[in-house]
Chains A and B, each alone.
Chain A
Amino acid sequence: MKARSHLLLSLLACAAASAYAQQTIIVGLITKTDTNPFFVKMKEGATQEAQAKGAKLMSAAGKFDGDNATQVTAIENMTTAGAKAILITPSDTKAIVPAIKKARDAGVLVIALDTPTDPQNATDALFATDNFKAGVLIGQYAKAAMGNKPVKIATLDLAPGITVGKLRHDGFLQGFGIKEGDPKIVCSQDTQGDQAKGQTAMENCLQKAPDINVVYTINEPAAAGAHQALKAAGKEKGVLIVSVDGGCAGVKNVKAGIIAATSQQYPLKMAQLGVDAGVNYAKTGKKVSGYTDTGVTLITDKAMPGVASKDTKFGLDACWGNK
């Protein structure tokens, strides 16, 4: 008698649980780190959108840029926990692929945000800034701004092997109309996207070539560091700094004239689109595919003919980070 009622109760509980589970859609978000305001904004956007759609958001992040292991573990855990879709900004675009394949084989929709995996079709879809285009825009801007003046260019890059850094750098070169190895590029140093390291890199580049007049920077903290170095050398007026990101602090720097132009990207949009796609897949089984450009806008207060841009007012409205 007792055993039978126990069995009945357990069955009821299971049914209730599975019904509940079927009701709440789980979407996972895995970012490179959770301290970079870019990813903080992404997580905010994802959380808001998930709430709006009545889904549950699981999130995880690596400990540092390049931390593949934590992301792999997160994918596994989220899959086991029943996530129907996983959004990921891959830290290591090659090494994460096997883990993504396992999740997709288990029926999970995997979407890359911001950075494509290598190969790109390892994920179902990619919602990202076209980082190459971001570089092209500021390259074109710099070319237009410098006109016919002779240029000496410094590139302050990210770190060896990181895709985003390479795409932006190469895009800048194409936009400017030069190839790698062009003698106009007088100095290239890595900054790891860090402000203090950007300052050191700029100082050493200036020491090598005091007449640098164009500086490409991988992101706005590096640009701020470069400006600090130029200011200390008394050169901040005559040097053009361009950057990528469009964070609120960076746009403020454009407004203040520290950065001439920056390519703004939209992490919020990436997250929103990602959550929508995940919820849609869970409800209808329809997968998204291919690449969706989440947009990049050139932000500058000194517009150049031939290069489409928006001013800092627009930039501040659309920026990510603390306004």
Chain B
Amino acid sequence: MANTAPAPVLQARGLIKRYGHVTALDGADFDLLPGEILAVIGDNGAGKSTLIKALSGALIPDEGEIRLDGNVVRFHSPIDARRQGIETVYQDLAVAPAMTIAENLFLGREVRRPGILGSVFRCLDKKRMVTEAIAHMKDLQIGIRSMKQAVETLSGGQRQGVAVARSAAFARHVVIMDEPTAALGVKESNMVLELIRRVRDRGLPVILISHNMPHVFEVSDRIHIQRLGRRVAVVNPREIKMSDAVAIMTGAMQVEPKAA
């Protein structure tokens, strides 16, 4: 049967990573298709975090190939990956609590005033950053009243919103989200899941790492199951039962390798 699937945005083949005698990645593959939310699940020790770190530039695999938009890439650092358009929303959010929403949104990417004021005097364009921050939050329909509020005054869900908005604002190809609902209650988790859908709807594919099966099944388009350092299956949450997915993850159920 002809494969008419669109070209993957981010792809990896045969990734190998060893730590001494331990093989974290044992020839792992990966495909992220455009416009999708791909959840990555796997038990502890399956190589899930190692895989994500390789894809986000936090570590360099020993062997294997990573392609972004069809081109082979080699990331030497997370900043490297970010420059190529891959943004990560870290589990602890990586926000400076005492600083405002606008300041956090532009942390490390501050906008300076035009002309001499900006280049010689290094003067920040605070007004513009606030305006753009309002626009980004509006885009994702996050309703926070003032961009000048300190992040620490926000609820957990709102803080997550800020971190997601930051990544969505600057990502050009991929957004990786690491356990976005782990610390949140029911209501706020739902808000964040809705937010993830909006990011995808804006045209940015999302890699979602989560231990929370109900959330995974609620929001993802496909699920990448990692086990023993390799991809053992990619399933459609609408075609498989949650218990079966968990079974594949733990090895209780065997799956024949099939083309992704």
Chains A and B in contact, CB within 8 Å: no
